[in-house]
């Protein structure tokens, strides 16, 4: 009977204790797995979101797109960028706050995105939304809305909405704008409870009373080649702007807003592993102490020191191994719940996830579990390794 | 003896010279500790502040002091390079030349009340008197800060999972420990002690052990609090407090741990006591 | 002349205790040959079990020389001593020390598996041993399902698994009634008759009376040696 089979029989001998030990490891392992998913999840998800948008460079007035500050002379700037050999297409994006009137109840607060396209002939341009029903807004006074607005306002494709835009920091009283809904769309960068609508830049400027300056919040650029080279070319062609590749944006976010989650995941990973090591070590130590007579007898029968040590290590490996396997589906379920909680944070896009499955996270998880099994077994291994056979046998008789 | 009128003239000249010198001296600013360390600035250093990287409308200021900025958890990892100016200096610096003085606006006004308990009433009064202005107590503002509410729920979820895992392990351990005494329990049952009597004994022991364990756990938590805060404050060069064990937290932990520990022992013993005394006492 | 299995010369064992050293065994000189049947008697605390442990290489002498099959045991590493106990020495304990989660057959199989015997050989030998001790019909029963006498018989089978030269028994009938004890005594006689040297530590006068040599110990020394 090898050490693993022997360990299995030792566990099965006390099924309640074994099951509880495995379940405990599963719960702790699930938490550990989730913290590993969290450590890179946000970055992975954001990178994926940025890449799925179809744009690989973001040009903004500030270091981090979305912060205050606009690009002035946006049209000329976009044309200059579109003329670069390394740029394929440019999308001018301007946003404004909008209040959509309803027949009853409070108006709906929404974000209105107005876009204008500049591209080489034949190059396709994707707007920062995905139309799921109907068609994209092309003409003036056309808009696509998200399902939040559609449901709250009771409007569908072909219907009309009335909104009042707020386009500057100053107090305004702009006339209402009536728009035709030509499509229902998903806005990947909108939060789950945020309302968003999109249309042409001309439509937005019209809603802003025709007074909006030729400025933009963002220029989205698609490269013809390597995005880093294109970004460098843009910075040279248009001094003073911040041209960030998707990697740059992710890098910036990693240093600022997202760093908290990396740190909390590191702290919780350390705490979880320590917790698991301590608990499994206590479990094994108590188990070994209860079997000292048996172990001494086995040593007297000729079992080598390495063999009895291997038995203890195998028992640890079995508890942690079985618990670790169970921790994976538990971890996925827990991650789903925790992700739902964290996505309640304001400003988080609906398509952004905090917990993203990655192969490296799984590999690290398995590695940490293996280390846990080994470290937790060290003390009980030392007990059996240094067990005084004769004294233990004597004590068993006296006891 | 100096004539009195000469003394008064001399004093006036001195005062004028002092005032002129004060007017020529650059205005004072406070800078954050991190900015001072990064730029090698000290109290008394003269700095140039401008509205953009090109140095538009740059003006000189004198560093009057270095302060520790209020740590912002949302900006962890980013060194706070901050400068605090007197409001008129800031308005002067940032106002475009074509905008007349007095046309600026500010975002917030912080008010410290004589009696903080008046905050809600004071806010209502301001809101009624000044339409277009929103006044609210700062505790409300903090509470309505969505990210922290979400984080609170997140941490609570983590805590619940940890407690579940700990409870499972605790049950496993108590089953083992109770099983060690099966022979004793069997003999006690054989000589006539009722199961309830044994359970009461076990409950008392469980409460003592759980209480001691909770106290030890609290000490461990306090030690960890210090270590975690020290490490991350060093790591991120911040005064942010990452872990804080309040009286409520300590009491809640004890209120969960002690009954859990005692219950686990009683449950494990109850399972054991369901078997006959003879079976328990037999080796 | 039969071969010398164990040659103990002036062997002693001292335990350092807080209250001062305890000389459990003092200056014991003893030879055990193959086929010997030796009983060791004496009052509690006289050093019988300590002597048995040293003979079985479970404990090391503090003084003197102990040779097993001509090898000085004190020069052997822990691994070599374990190997010695596995293949050349068998142990039987007062409290049986059967592993409760294994069946009788699996308990007997343990030393064979540890010695690396192939599976077919292990199965054959286990069946042979259980038959030898009269428990073939109890092969798949766990210790909790066996009586005291049956457990001790399984323990004897286990001790004989690797055909040891020397079988050491520490109070083998200590937890058994008289009748059962007599059965165990008869089994041990048979083991000895089949060629295994046997050393038994016992309070049981009847059991001791079956031995060819009876050593009486007192205060760590062999006070008297009687030969039947």
B130-154 confidence digits (pLDDT tens): 876 778 787 665 554 567 788 888 8
Best of C99, C122, C171 to substitute, by most chain A Cβ atoms within 10 angstroms, is C99
Give the pLDDT score at B137. 82
B13 has a pLDDT exceeding 50:
no
Q: Which residue has the higher pLDDT, A203 or B279?
A: A203
> Measured between alpha carbons, how far apart are the two ends of chain C, in Å?
18
Provide the domain count of chain A. Answer: 2
Residue count of chain C: 228
pTM, full prediction: 0.77
My answer on whether A18 and A110 are in the same domain is no
> Measured between alpha carbons, how far apart are the two ends of chain A, in Å?
30
My answer on whether A149 and A195 are in the same domain is yes
Residues 6+ apart with CB under 8 A from C96: C143, C148, C151, C152, C154, C155, C175
B222 interfaces chain A, CB cutoff of 8 Å: no
> Residue A293: its chain C contacts at CB < 8 A?
95, 97
| Angle of CA points A182, A183, A185, to nearest 5° | 150
**CB-CB under 8 Å, A20 with B146:** no
- Which residue, A183, A208, A240, sits at the end of a domain? A240
B14 has a pLDDT exceeding 70:
no
Distance from CA of A345 to the nearest CA of C (A): 53
> What residues form DSSP beta bridges with A162?
A178
| Burial environment of residue A261 by CB neighbours within 10 A (0 to 12, 13 to 18, 19 or more) | buried
Q: How far apart are CA B159 and CA B143, in angstroms?
A: 21
My answer on whether A228 and A97 are in the same domain is yes
pLDDT band, very low/low/confident/very high, at B283 (cuts 50, 70, 90) = very low
> Residue C106: its chain A contacts at CB < 8 A?
1
A305 interfaces chain C, CB cutoff of 8 Å: yes
A173 interfaces chain B, CB cutoff of 8 Å: no
> Residue B144: its chain A contacts at CB < 8 A?
none
My answer on whether A285 and A385 are in the same domain is yes
Q: Establish how many alpha carbons lie within 13 A of residue A59's alpha carbon, considering only the half-sphere containing its beta carbon.
A: 36
- Which residue, A240, A273, A298, sits at the end of a domain? A240
Q: How far apart are CA C2 and CA C31, in angstroms?
A: 11
Q: Which residue has the higher pLDDT, B171 or A337?
A: A337
A265 interfaces chain C, CB cutoff of 8 Å: no
In a domain, A55, yes or no: no
- Quick: pLDDT tens for C141-190: 999 899 999 999 999 999 999 999 999 999 999 888 888 889 999 999 99
What was the ipTM of the complex prediction? 0.84
In a domain, A218, yes or no: yes
Distance from CA of A3 to the nearest CA of C (A): 10
My answer on whether A205 and A305 are in the same domain is no
B177 interfaces chain A, CB cutoff of 8 Å: yes
Q: How far apart are CA A392 and CA A19, in angstroms?
A: 29
Q: How far apart are CA A166 and CA A204, in angstroms?
A: 10
My answer on whether A230 and A302 are in the same domain is no
Q: How far apart are CA B7 and CA A152, in angstroms?
A: 81
My answer on whether A132 and A268 are in the same domain is no
A337 interfaces chain B, CB cutoff of 8 Å: yes
In a domain, A10, yes or no: yes
My answer on whether A45 and A71 are in the same domain is no
My answer on whether A279 and A382 are in the same domain is yes
Q: How far apart are CA B219 and CA A36, in angstroms?
A: 28
Sequence spans of domains, chain B: 15-107, 111-144, 146-281
B 132-161 → A contacts, CB under 8 A? 146-147, 150-151, 153-154, 157-158, 161
Give the pLDDT score at A249. 84
Please state, in angstroms and as integers, the Cα–Cα distance from residue C76 to each residue in A262, A306, B266, C73, C166, following that order.
55, 16, 50, 5, 18
A299 interfaces chain C, CB cutoff of 8 Å: yes
Q: Establish how many alpha carbons lie within 13 A of residue A308's alpha carbon, considering only the half-sphere containing its beta carbon.
A: 28
Contact (CB, 8 A) for C214 and C41: yes
A37 interfaces chain B, CB cutoff of 8 Å: no
> Residue A13: its chain C contacts at CB < 8 A?
100-101
- Quick: pLDDT tens for C8-25: 999 999 988 888 999 999
| Angle of CA points A9, A391, A397, to nearest 5° | 70
Q: How far apart are CA A180 and CA A162, in angstroms?
A: 9
Selecting from B74, B150, B177 the residue whose C-beta is nearest the C-beta of A341 gives B150
Distance from CA of B20 to the nearest CA of A (A): 39
Mean pLDDT, consecutive 10-residue stretches, chain A (399 aa), reads 87 86 92 91 87 87 65 88 90 90 85 85 76 89 92 91 79 79 90 86 86 82 89 90 88 74 84 89 89 91 92 93 94 93 81 89 94 95 93 77
In a domain, A195, yes or no: yes
Give the pLDDT score at C66. 94
- Which residue, A179, A212, A240, sits at the end of a domain? A240
Contact (CB, 8 A) for A130 and A239: no
Q: How far apart are CA B68 and CA B71, in angstroms?
A: 8
| Burial environment of residue A357 by CB neighbours within 10 A (0 to 12, 13 to 18, 19 or more) | middle
Residue A157 has phi, psi (to 5 degrees) of -60, 130
Q: How far apart are CA B162 and CA B171, in angstroms?
A: 14
Q: What is the DSSP string of chain C?
A: -PPEEEEEEEEEEEEEETTEEEEEEEEEEEEEETT-EEEEE-STTSSHHHHHHHHTTSS--SEEEEEETTEEGGGS-HHHHHHHHHHTEEEE-TT----TTS-HHHHHHHHHHHTT--HHHHHHHHHHHHHHTT-GGGTT--GGGS-HHHHHHHHHHHHTTT--SEEEEESTTTTS-HHHHHHHHHHHHHHHHTT-EEEEE-S-HHHHHTSSEEEEEETTEEEEEEE-
Distance from CA of A12 to the nearest CA of C (A): 8
Among residues C180, C222, C215, C178, the alpha carbon closest in space to that of C199 is found at: C215
Q: How far apart are CA B63 and CA B43, in angstroms?
A: 5
The boundaries of the domain holding residue A134 are: 62-240
Give the pLDDT score at B19. 52
Give the pLDDT score at A170. 60
> How many A×C Cβ pairs under 8 Å?
84
Give the pLDDT score at C168. 94
**Helix residue spans in chain B (DSSP H):** 4-24, 33-39, 87-94, 119-129, 138-143, 146-180, 182-190, 195-236, 247-273, 277-281
* DSSP state for residue A209 in the 8-state scheme: T
Selecting from B76, B171, B180 the residue whose C-beta is nearest the C-beta of A263 gives B76
C59 interfaces chain A, CB cutoff of 8 Å: yes
Selecting from B77, B176, B271 the residue whose C-beta is nearest the C-beta of A259 gives B77
**CB-CB under 8 Å, A287 with B157:** no
Give the pLDDT score at C41. 93
Q: Which residue is closest to A388 within chain C, CA to CA?
A: C59
């Amino acid at each position: 009977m090898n050490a693993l089979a022997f360990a299995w029989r030792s566990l099965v001998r006390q099924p309640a204790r074994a099951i509880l030990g495995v379940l405990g490891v599963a719960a702790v392992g699930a938490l550990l797995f989730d913290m590993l998913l969290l450590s890179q999840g946000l970055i992975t998800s954001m990178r994926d979101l940025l890449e799925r948008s179809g744009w690989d460079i973001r040009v903004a007035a500030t270091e981090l797109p979305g912060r205050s500050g606009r690009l002035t002379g946006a049209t000329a700037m976009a044309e200059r960028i579109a003329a670069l050999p390394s740029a394929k297409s440019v999308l001018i994006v301007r946003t404004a706050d909008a209040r959509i009137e309803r027949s009853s109840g409070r108006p709906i607060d929404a974000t209105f995105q107005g876009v204008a396209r500049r591209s080489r002939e034949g190059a396709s341009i994707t707007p920062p939304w995905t139309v799921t029903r109907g068609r994209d807004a092309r003409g003036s006074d056309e808009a696509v809305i998200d399902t939040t607005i559609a449901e709250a306002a009771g409007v569908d494709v072909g219907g009309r909405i009335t909104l009042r835009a707020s386009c500057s920091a100053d107090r305004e009283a702009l006339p209402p704008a009536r728009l035709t809904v030509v499509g229902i769309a998903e806005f990947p960068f909108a939060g789950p409870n945020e309302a968003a609508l999109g249309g042409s830049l001309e439509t937005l400027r019209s809603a802003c009373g025709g007074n909006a300056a030729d400025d933009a919040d963002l220029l989205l650029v698609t490269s013809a080649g390597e995005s880093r080279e294109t970004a460098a070319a843009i910075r040279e062609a248009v001094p003073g702007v911040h041209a960030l590749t998707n990697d740059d944006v992710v890098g910036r976010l990693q240093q600022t807003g997202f760093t908290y989650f990396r740190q909390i995941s590191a702290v919780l990973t350390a705490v979880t592993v320590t917790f698991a090591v301590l608990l499994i070590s206590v479990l094994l130590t108590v188990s070994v102490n209860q079997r000292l007579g048996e172990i001494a007898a086995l040593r007297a029968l000729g079992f080598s020191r390495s063999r009895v040590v291997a038995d203890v290590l195998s028992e640890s490996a079995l508890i942690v191994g079985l618990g670790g396997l169970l921790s994976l589906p538990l971890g996925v379920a827990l991650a789903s719940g925790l992700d739902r909680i964290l996505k309640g944070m304001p400003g988080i896009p609906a398509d952004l996830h905090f917990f993203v499955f990655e192969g490296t996270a799984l590999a690290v998880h398995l590695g940490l579990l293996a280390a846990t099994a080994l470290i937790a077994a060290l003390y009980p291994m030392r007990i059996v390794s240094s067990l005084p056979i004769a004294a233990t046998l004597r004590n068993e008789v006296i006891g | 003896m100096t004539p009195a009128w000469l003394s008064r003239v001399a004093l006036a000249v001195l005062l004028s010279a002092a005032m002129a010198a004060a007017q020529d001296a650059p205005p004072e600013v406070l800078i954050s500790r991190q900015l001072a360390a990064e730029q090698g600035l000290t109290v008394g250093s003269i700095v140039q502040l401008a509205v953009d990287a090109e140095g538009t409308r740059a003006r000189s200021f004198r560093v009057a002091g270095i302060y520790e900025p209020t740590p912002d958890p949302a900006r962890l990892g980013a060194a706070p390079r901050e400068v605090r100016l007197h409001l008129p200096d800031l308005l002067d610096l940032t106002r475009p030349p074509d905008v007349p003085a007095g046309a600026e606006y500010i975002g917030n006004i912080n008010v410290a009340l004589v009696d903080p308990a008046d905050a809600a009433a004071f806010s209502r009064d301001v809101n009624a008197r000044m339409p277009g202005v929103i006044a609210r107590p700062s505790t409300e503002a903090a509470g309505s800060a969505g990210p922290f509410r979400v984080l609170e729920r997140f941490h609570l979820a983590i805590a619940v999972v940890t407690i579940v895992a700990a409870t499972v392990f605790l049950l496993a351990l108590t089953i083992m420990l109770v099983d060690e005494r099966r022979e004793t329990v069997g003999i006690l049952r054989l000589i006539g002690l009722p199961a309830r009597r044994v359970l009461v004994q076990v409950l008392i022991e469980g409460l003592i052990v759980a209480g001691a364990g909770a106290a030890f756990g609290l000490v461990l938590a306090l030690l960890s609090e210090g270590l975690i805060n020290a490490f991350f404050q060093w790591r991120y060069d911040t005064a942010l407090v990452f872990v804080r064990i309040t009286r409520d937290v300590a009491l809640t932990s004890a209120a969960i741990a002690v009954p859990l520990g005692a219950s686990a022992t009683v449950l494990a013993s109850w399972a054991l006591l369901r078997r006959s005394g003879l079976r328990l006492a037999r080796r | 002349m039969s071969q010398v299995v164990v040659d103990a010369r002036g062997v002693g064992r001292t335990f350092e205790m807080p209250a001062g050293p305890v000389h459990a065994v003092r200056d014991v000189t003893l030879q055990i040959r193959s086929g010997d049947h030796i009983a060791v008697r004496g009052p509690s605390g006289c050093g019988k079990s300590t002597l048995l442990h040293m003979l079985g290489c479970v404990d090391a002498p503090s003084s003197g020389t102990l040779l097993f099959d001509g090898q000085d045991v004190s020069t052997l590493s822990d691994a070599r001593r374990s190997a010695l106990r596995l293949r050349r020495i068998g142990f039987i304990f007062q409290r049986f020390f059967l592993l409760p989660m294994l069946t009788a057959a699996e308990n007997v199989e343990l030393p064979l598996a540890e010695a690396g015997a192939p599976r077919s050989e292990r199965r054959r030998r286990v069946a042979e041993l259980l038959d030898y001790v009269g428990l073939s019909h109890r092969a798949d029963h766990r210790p909790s399902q066996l009586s005291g006498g049956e457990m001790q018989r399984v323990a004897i089978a286990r001790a004989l698994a690797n055909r040891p030269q020397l079988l050491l028994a520490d109070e083998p009938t200590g937890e058994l009634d008289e009748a059962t004890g007599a059965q165990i005594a008869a089994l041990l006689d048979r083991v000895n008759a089949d060629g295994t040297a046997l050393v038994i530590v016992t309070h049981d006068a009847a059991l001791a009376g079956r031995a060819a040599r009876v050593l009486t110990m007192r205060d760590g020394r062999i006070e008297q040696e009687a030969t039947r």
